[in-house]
Amino acid sequence: MMTLQLINPKSIAVIGASENIEKPGGKVLYNVKNGTFEGKLYAVNPKHENIQGVQTFKNVSELPQTELAILAIPANLCVAAVKTLLEEKNTKAIIVLSAGFSEMGPIGKKMEREMALLSDKHKATLIGPNCIGVMNPFHQSVFVSPVPKMEWGGTTLISSSGATCVFILESALSKGLAFSSVFSVGNAVQTCIEDVLEYLNETYEDGKSPKIILMYIESIKKPQVLLKNAQELIAKGCRLAAVKSGISDAGGRAAASHTGAMLNSDMAVDALFRKAGIIRCNSRGELTAVGAVLQHPKLNGKRIAIITHAGGPGVMLTDVLTIGGMQVPRLSDELMSDLHNELFEGASTANPIDILATGTSEQLEKCIAFCDKLEDIDGIVVIFGSPGLFSNIDAYRVIREQQNSCLKPIYTILPSILNAKEEMDQFVDEGGVFFEDEFVLGNALLSESRYVAPVVEKEAGKLKNEAEIKALLKGRKGLIPTHIGFEVLDLIGIRRPKNKIVSTEPEAIKAAQKLGFPLVMKVVGPAHKSDVGGVVLDVVTVDAVKENFKRLIGIKNAAGVELCQMERGLEVLIGVKKEPGFGHIITCGLGGIFVEILKDIQYALAPVTRAEALRMIRALKSYKMIQGVRGKEGISEEVFADVICKVSDLLVAVPEIEELDLNPLMGHGHHLSAVDVIIKI
């Protein structure tokens, strides 16, 4: 729960204020006092009557009524202070800067819990502990620097870590990003990143609220809240990017299925971000670079013109973009002849457009304006540094003017961080956003070009036989017997070969004669049948049935033998794993042993729409095989997607399913049949 008093308080008290601005209590008071806050400001310190010219009280009990309190006192004093503030001072927002809580052990965790419970009871917002604070255009309640100018409509930064928040700010401000608010949630004992996102969504005001939201996330506590509010903010025109740290899955968990063994919690995060429409970044630098790209007008297409006065960076940017799937289209001599006549001899207009080291700001202006009118170009990158011989001020002025007047986005690489430092500072002061390195910009542009807006889910279709499925699975736990799994497939409309599970040799012979040859014989019981030699293909005689039955029934943990009509064609798979908090991850790929060797899979969070299912299939490296290659018939992607959607509907009806494997699904053309099924509840 986020309260207005956190965002726009009429009064602020700093508990643990200090004259020493090298201490958190001193620096936060200094920042609030010298920032934009216009309300009543109080300080609490038992040893002083006046700190930094601010009215000071001996203890919290002496304070007047206070809307926002900032705690910079030892951890063991915080609970009592919070209690007094909430019960006696009608405080509705508290920022705890202090460290020494859950990161120090059970006692600290208990103190955190007490503060959170008190805040919940009094319907107050608690930020932290162990954070740097909060800042926005109303107040800058942080104990760090830099404290940027806060502008409505600028970027919002939400961070788990206080120190990382500062590092991200420094990186972003050096590129010229503008900020409207910064939230450091620290240990997030009550208010987490997802709560801040929910507040931004619920209070969204077009023209005033941020359009760009950057996040550094250490722990996702409320995945569904993140998903819902990210999708809704994006529908309102916002863009989100995030770094999620702590992605390694060192331990791994025992799993009944191939899918369960392959998928991990980081894949759940990846699937969540994709479904939510959040661009996932892998570093602070990448996060701020993506933020800088998003601060430009929207790039509508993948065709880029590069204008430079230094050939090397233009070539390197071309390499990054083209390898990543964007285009730096060659511009013909005929098309560019008028522009070429305006440049010095030796200049190139083929794209990259190289105006040479002697190129002037006037020539740069003509190049940008010319490219803005080209139908074959969607965006422009200008690379302009300095050898230190002359000032770049005119060139940078031209870039800013063209950015404000051109229809297409213009991205700027300013590599001369020493030779042109003063000019670059002025460029930023005038609202410019720039990149120091072509590789960084190139990858940020690729992230933007690959972006797919989230699909807001339609309500999941109700399964026709939902009541029968629930009755069939009622009370079952653990691995479901194979024959029950096949009954489930029948009820949701997934095709399978006819089969019979037997426990004696005469039953096996009778079943073989009824099903017809060729047959597949499989042991029933062990999850990974191939690993124990439990699968026999192309059984074509009664004698072979007898021989293989004896061997298969003798395998350890065998509960029977399955005889199944032989399917032929390409093998694919659909798998499911339930990740706590996130829900079900559905995956698809080549089936059989290929999935273990190639690990070519795509995944998404359920429920999965048809569009998402098709996107998964088309993103597989083996997609050409599914389409059919070198005379071998593939599988209809529409049929494959239909089976994925049926599995998704099953998960909505029976959320208790923990793992599910259809591996392999085998077929050709419009024929796709589930040869094996594993369901774990």
pLDDT tens, residue by residue, 280-304: 999 999 999 999 999 999 999 999 9
Segment 369-386 mean pLDDT: 95
Least confident of 312-321, 396-405, 585-594, 657-666: 585-594
Do 590 and 545 have their domain in common? no
Per-residue pLDDT at 255? 57
* pLDDT for 346 beyond 80: yes
Radius of gyration for the chain, computed over Cα atoms and rounded to the nearest angstrom:
31
Do 562 and 580 have their domain in common? no
Do 23 and 105 have their domain in common? yes
Residues present in the chain in total: 681
Q: Is 477 a domain residue? A: no
Q: Is 545 a domain residue? A: yes
Least confident of 5-14, 170-179, 240-249, 537-546: 240-249
Do 153 and 278 have their domain in common? yes
Q: Is 358 a domain residue? A: yes
* pLDDT for 613 beyond 70: yes
Segment 450-467 mean pLDDT: 77
* pLDDT for 528 beyond 90: no
Q: Is 431 a domain residue? A: yes
* pLDDT for 494 beyond 80: yes
381: region left, alpha or beta (phi > 0 left; psi from -120 to 50 alpha)? beta
Do 78 and 171 have their domain in common? no
Do 557 and 577 have their domain in common? no
CATH number, domain containing residue 100: 3.40.50.720
Per-residue pLDDT at 251? 42
Distances (CA, A) of 353 to 268, 315, 364, 371, 409: 43, 10, 10, 10, 17
Q: Is residue 105 packed enough to be buried (19+ CB in 10 Å), middle (13-18) or exposed (0-12)?
A: exposed
Please give the share of the chain, as a percent, with pLDDT higher than 90. 84
| Helix or strand (DSSP H, E) at 166 | helix 162-175
CA angle, 332 as apex, 326 and 334 as ends, to 5°? 155
Do 191 and 259 have their domain in common? yes
Whether the Cβ atoms of residue 226 and residue 220 lie closer than 8 Å to each other? yes
Do 153 and 264 have their domain in common? yes
Q: Is 486 a domain residue? A: no
Per-residue pLDDT at 591? 85
Per-residue pLDDT at 103? 87
Per-residue pLDDT at 331? 94
CATH number, domain containing residue 329: 3.40.50.261
pLDDT tens-digit profile of 136-158? Answer: 999 999 999 999 999 988 999 99
Do 74 and 128 have their domain in common? yes
Per-residue pLDDT at 250? 46
Do 159 and 272 have their domain in common? yes
Do 332 and 443 have their domain in common? yes
Do 540 and 600 have their domain in common? no
Segment 395-419 mean pLDDT: 94
pLDDT tens-digit profile of 618-648? Answer: 999 999 999 998 878 999 999 999 999 999 9
Domain of residue 51 covers 4-132
The model's pTM is: 0.89
Q: Is 140 a domain residue? A: no
Mean pLDDT score of the chain: 93
Q: What span, in angstroms and rounded, lies between the C-alpha atoms of 614 and 637? A: 7
Of the pLDDT bands very low, low, confident and very high (cuts 50, 70, 90), residue 463 is confident
